[in-house]
Structure 1
Amino acid sequence: MAMKNKTYATILLAVYAVVATVHVAADLQRFDHLPTKADGSLDILVVGDWGRRGLYNQSNVAHQMGKIGENLDVDFIVSTGDNFYEDGLIDEEDSLFYESFTQVYTATSLQKQWYSVLGNHDYRGNVLAQLSPVLTQKDSKWLCLRSFIVNSGIVEFFFIDTTPFQDKYFTETDHKYDWRGVLPREEYLSNVLKEVDMALEESIATWKIVIGHHTIFSAGSHGNTQELIDQLLPILEAKEVDLYINGHDHCLQHISSQNSQLQFLTSGGGSKAWRGEVNQWNPTEMKFYYDGQGFMTLRVTEGDISVAFYDVFGEIIHTWSNTKYTHMDS
Structure 2
Amino acid sequence: MAMIKYSPAVLLLLYMTAAMVGVVVAELQRFDHAVKSDGSLSFLVVGDWGRRGLYNQSNVAYQMGKVGEKTDVDFIISTGDNFYDSGLIDVDDPAFFESFSNVYTAPSLQKQWYSVLGNHDYRGNALAQLSPVLTQKDSRWFCLKSFMLHAGNTEFFFVDTTPFQDKYFTETKHTYDWRGVLPRPDYIANLLKEVDIALKESNAKWKIVVGHHTMFSAGDHGNTQELVDKLLPILKENEVNLYINGHDHCLQQISSPDSKLQFLTSGGGSKAWRGNTNPWNPNELKFYYDGQGFMNCEITYEKIQLAFYDIFGNELHKWSVSEYVHSSS
1:205-256 per-residue CA deviation (whole Å, 9 max, x = no partner) reads 0000000000000000000000000000000000000000000000000000
> Are the aligned partners of 1:31 and 1:149 in contact in 2 as well (CA < 8 Å)?
yes
Give 1:12 deviation, angstroms: 1.2
Percent identical pairs in the alignment equals 70
Aligned residues: 320
Instruction: Tell me whether 1:19 sits opposite 2:15 in the alignment.
Output: yes
Shift of 1:20: 2.3
What is the match of residue 244 of structure 1? 243
Give a deviation string over 1:36-88, Cα, whole Å, max 9, x none. Answer: x2321100000000000000000000000001101111000000000000000
Letter of the 2:43 counterpart: I
**What is aligned with 2:77?**
78
User: What amino acid sits opposite 2:85 in the alignment?
Assistant: E
Instruction: Write the distance in 1 (CA, Å) between the matches of 2:163 and 2:145.
Output: 10
In 2, Cα distance between equivalents of 1:215 and 1:91: 27
After superposing on structure 2, the runs of 4+ consecutive aligned residues of structure 1 that deviate more than 6 Å are 7-10
The CA deviation at 1:27 is 3.2
Q: Secondary structure at the match of 1:31?
A: strand
- Which position in structure 2 is the counterpart of 1:55? 54
How far has the Cα of 1:139 moved from its partner? 0.2
User: CA–CA distance in 2 between the matches of 1:216 and 1:318?
Assistant: 20
Is the contact made by 2:25 and 2:187 (CA closer than 8 Å) also made in structure 1?
no
TM-score, normalisation: structure 1:
0.95
8 A Cα contact 2:24 2:182, kept in partner: no
CA distance in 2, matches of 1:308, 1:258: 21
State the one-letter code of the partner of 2:106.
A
| Aligned-partner Cα distance in 2 for 1:157–1:8 | 14
Unaligned runs of 5+ in 2: 325-329
**Within-5 A mapping of 1:86-235:** 86-235=85-234
Is 1:20–1:145's contact at 8 Å kept on the other side of the alignment?
Answer: no
Q: Aligned partners of 1:58 and 1:179: how far apart in 2? A: 28
Distance 1:8 1:323, change over 3 A: closer
Instruction: Indicate the residue corresponding to 1:286 in structure 2.
Output: 285
Q: Work out the CA distance in 2 between the residues paired with 1:214 and 1:259.
A: 21
Would the aligned equivalents of 1:293 and 1:312 in 2 still touch at CA under 8 Å?
yes
Alpha-carbon distance in structure 1 between the residues aligned to 2:51 and 2:182: 29
Q: Cα offset for 1:21? A: 3.1
Partner of 1:313: 312
Question: 2:76·2:113 contact (CA, 8 Å) conserved in 1?
Answer: yes
**Unmatched runs of 5 consecutive residues or more in structure 1:** 326-330
Deviation of the 1:324 alpha carbon = 2.0
Task: Give the superposition deviation at 1:26.
Answer: 6.7
Q: Which deviates more from structure 2 when the two are superposed, residues 177-186 or residues 273-282?
A: 273-282
Quote how far apart the aligned CAs of 1:25 are: 4.4
Q: Residues 3-42 of structure 1 correspond to what in structure 2 (within 5 A)?
A: 11-22=7-18, 23-25=23-25, 27-35=27-35, 37-42=36-41
Tell me the distance in 2 between the aligned counterparts of 1:143 and 1:180.
19
Instruction: Tell me the TM-score normalised to structure 2 length.
Output: 0.95
Contact 1:21 1:181 survives alignment (8 Å): no
> Residue type matched to 2:149 in 1?
V
Deviation at 1:100, TM superposition (A): 0.1
Q: Is the 8 A contact 1:256 1:264 kept in 2?
A: yes
